[in-house]
Copies of this chain bind each other. A is one copy, B any other.
Amino acid sequence: MILDIGSISLDTTTTPFKTATEIMGGSATFFGLVASFFAETGLVGVVGDDYPEEYISILEERLDTRGLVVEKGRSFRFDSRFGYDLGVRTTLKTELNVFGDWSPVIPEEYADAEYVYIGNIGPEQQLRVLDQVNRPKITVADTIEFWILNQREWLLELISRVDGMVLNDEEVRQLCETPNIVKGARAILEMGPDFVIIKKGEHGAILFTREMIFPTCGYPLEEVVDPTGAGDCFAGGFMGHLARSGDLSRKTLREAVVYGNVMGSFAVERFGVERFLDLTMEEIEGRYRKYKSMVSF
C-alpha cells in the first residue's frame, strides 16, 4: 500500500484563459489520484465540513479514505494566478482553515504501508508521520520554500530520516545556497537520504543517488492549461511505479522517474485534477512508450 499524506484544498486558479473556482487541489489530492492508477493508496488528510460531497465521492472511489478526517469548519483554500507564459504563479490568498492546526494521525490499518509519501505539510508534522509508520520500504518527502525559510532545523531532521526527497530546482538552490543544482543534490545526499529528485517543470527531472545521476526531459506538450499540482503528480507516478514493481532496483527507480514525468505531463493538460478523472492505464502506458521511443538515440 502507498500512504499519501498531505494537503487537501479547494483551489481557485486563474490562467490567461480561464478562472476555475474551488476545484479539487492540494498535494495529497494530486498525488493520491495519480498513485491510485498504479497501486492501492491510502489518503491521510483533513477537510472542513464545507468540502463538497462530490469531491469526497471522487476520493472515495479511487482511494482508501480511512485516513481522511472531516472537521467542523472551512476547508483549506488556495487562490493563485498564472501569468502569460504559465511559468510564474502569484499567490492571491492562502486560507489554511482546518488544515492550519491539523496534525496527521495515521490509522492503525495503514501503519504497515510500505510506500510512504509525505507531501507538503510542515516538517514537524512530517516527522510525526515518520514516528507513526512501522517499517516502510521507502519514505519520500516534499517541501516548499516556506518551510526552508521558516523551519529549517525541523526540515534538516526530516531530510536525515527519509529515504528520498523530491524538490524543485529553486527549492534546492535555496536549501543548499548554491546556484548549481548538481552541487545542491550532492549536499542533500550528504544529509542522509539515499536519493534526491530535482523537478524542473517542463524541463523534466533529475534523479541523484550516491552512485548515479539520471537526467530526464519533460514530455513536450503543445498545450499547457494549468501547471498546478504537476510536482505532486510526478511524485504519484514515481511512487506508484515503485509500489507496483515491488523492488527498488536502479532500473525500477529510473523507470519510476519517467512515469513521474508522464503523469506530470497529463496533469497540466487540464485544470486541476480533471485529466485524471477519465484517464486510462492504457493512455499512461501509451505515453510512457511514446516518451521512451521519443528520447532514444
- Chain A interfacial positions (CB closer than 8 Å to B): 84-87, 173, 179-180, 182-183, 186, 200, 203-204, 206, 212-224, 251, 254-255, 257-258, 292, 294-295, 297
Residues in B whose Cβ lies below 8 Å from that of A214: 294-295, 297
B222-A186 in contact (CB<8A): yes
B182-A85 in contact (CB<8A): no
B255-A220 in contact (CB<8A): no
Measured CB to CB, the nearest residue on chain B to A222 is B182
B87-A182 in contact (CB<8A): no
Residues in B whose Cβ lies below 8 Å from that of A222: 180, 182-183, 186
Residues in B whose Cβ lies below 8 Å from that of A180: 221-224
Residue A85 contacts which of B85, B179, B215, B219 (CB distance < 8 angstroms)? Answer: B179
Residue A86 contacts which of B179, B206, B212, B215 (CB distance < 8 angstroms)? Answer: B179
Measured CB to CB, the nearest residue on chain B to A183 is B222
Measured CB to CB, the nearest residue on chain B to A87 is B179
B217-A204 in contact (CB<8A): yes
Known: A222-B183, A223-B180. A294 touches B204 (CB 8 A): no
Residue A215 contacts which of B87, B212, B218 (CB distance < 8 angstroms)? Answer: B218
The docked-state distance in angstroms from the alpha carbon of A292 to that of B296 is 9
Known: A255-B297, A258-B297, A295-B295. A215 touches B220 (CB 8 A): yes
B213-A216 in contact (CB<8A): no
Residues in B whose Cβ lies below 8 Å from that of A221: 180, 182
Minimum CB–CB distance from A35 to chain B (whole Å) comes to: 20
The docked-state distance in angstroms from the alpha carbon of A182 to that of B202 is 11
The docked-state distance in angstroms from the alpha carbon of A212 to that of B294 is 8
Minimum CB–CB distance from A267 to chain B (whole Å) comes to: 16
Residues in B whose Cβ lies below 8 Å from that of A218: 215
Measured CB to CB, the nearest residue on chain B to A178 is B85
Known: A200-B203, A203-B203, A220-B206. A215 touches B182 (CB 8 A): no
11 CB < 8 A contacts A-B = A84-B179, A86-B179, A180-B221, A182-B221, A200-B203, A204-B217, A206-B217, A213-B294, A215-B219, A215-B220, A216-B217
The docked-state distance in angstroms from the alpha carbon of A297 to that of B262 is 14
Residues in B whose Cβ lies below 8 Å from that of A86: 179
Residues in B whose Cβ lies below 8 Å from that of A224: 180
Known: A86-B179, A179-B87, A292-B297. A213 touches B206 (CB 8 A): no
The docked-state distance in angstroms from the alpha carbon of A206 to that of B212 is 24
